[in-house]
Structure 1
């Protein structure tokens, strides 16, 4: 899944709940979202409202079911690149006693120009199958921007002759991951392709 690098990720529960079919065979965003997302119509409406007439160059999707005492809550995310921007969509089901059914969907969109991405990092876990053939077992992609996400103070050294307070800057970053247990080989391959696309497109 992708998320801000400093955030926590909900536990992965594979094969729980409706939808959730493997999206990797689908080349079109509409088809992949329809097979994978529980709220595909809301996701596509939000993404296309920003995308306009621009063509989708690549995308990756994530769907996680978080099991709590209150029941199952679906966490859904999409990252879409149109060649100029990275469009990030996220939704989470929230309890609301006043809403019919007791739940509402928190849907949000964030748009990043590719010029704001200063670093693309990708780490691939490569192994062998029973026949000795190469197999990609997982992939991790990190995007770091120049935008500040967290600024924390560092106390001055009391033993220094010139004690000077300092601050530690943490840039906003996003991470994407797939593994054999979380997504399978098809989604691993799609995320590798997506990471390479972003690596080629970000301005030098």
Structure 2
């Protein structure tokens, strides 16, 4: 549901409407969402409902535009940390022939306690510009939990006495930014978010 890393994506500023501006200069979640998201008020309503009076410690935002035969479809996500929990909001436009305009917005929120995160991995692609100066070109953050997400069968080896087994894949969430998708500012914000979670996730 969350962390749609395999989805095709357009540039961060692409997509219908005046939104899609760079959110990285905004320190307040409400301001960043207002600049970046379609339906920012729906996102903030869903997040505020579970955030309550707790303070936002850090966040990252994602927006993907899919171009289909029926037009542009926007997929959006916010990951928010309040120091104890990871709050994930996601929305996706779904086709609905009975609705005015032909689409409805599927808005979902998921709350994870930080102690349910068992693994944090962050990878940075580092390059150089024409003058030899360092340029970060991509950042990839993966959060894995102990919660099962997918169970698949592993067939038995006909030459082995061991029976068939099952392979369990834990639930994971993926976030990425690059120079082409978000730019240097959003890449830096994603690094900050990953570092924050790394400091806050309990060690045992």
TM-score by length of 1: 0.94
Name the residue aligned to 1:10: 8
- In structure 2, the partner of 1:83 is 83
C-alpha deviations, 1:58-101, integer Å up to 9, x for none?
Answer: 00001111100011111111000000000011001111111112
The answer to whether the aligner puts 1:192 opposite 2:175 as a matched pair is: no
Alignment of 1:54-203 (within 5 A): 54-160=54-160, 162-203=161-202
Which runs of structure 1 show a deviation greater than 4 angstroms over 4 or more consecutive aligned residues?
A: none
Report the more deviating stretch, 71-80 or 92-101. 92-101
Aligned to 2:41: 41
Question: Do the aligned partners of 1:3 and 1:9 also contact (CA within 8 Å) in 2?
Answer: no
Structure 1 counterpart SS, 2:195: helix
1-side partners of 2:105 and 2:85: how far apart? Answer: 25
* SS of corresponding position for 1:54: coil
Query: Any idea what SS the aligned residue of 2:50 has?
Result: helix
Partner secondary structure for residue 33 of structure 1? helix
In structure 2, distance between residues paired with 1:118 and 1:182: 28
- Say if 1:88 and 1:109, in contact at 8 Å, map to a contact too: yes
Q: Which secondary structure state, in structure 2, belongs to the residue aligned with residue 193 of structure 1?
A: helix
Aligned length: 200
SS of match in other structure, 1:132: coil
CA distance in 2, matches of 1:11, 1:178: 11
SS of the counterpart of 1:3? coil
Check the 8 A contact 1:90/1:108 in 2, yes or no.
Answer: yes
Cα contact 2:11–2:180 (8 A) shared by 1: no
Question: 1:12, CA displacement in angstroms?
Answer: 2.4
Cα separation, 2, equivalents of 1:173 and 1:45: 25
Distance 2:94 2:11 in 1: 18
Q: Within 2, Cα distance between the matches of 1:156 and 1:102?
A: 48
Give TM-score, length-normalised by structure 2: 0.94
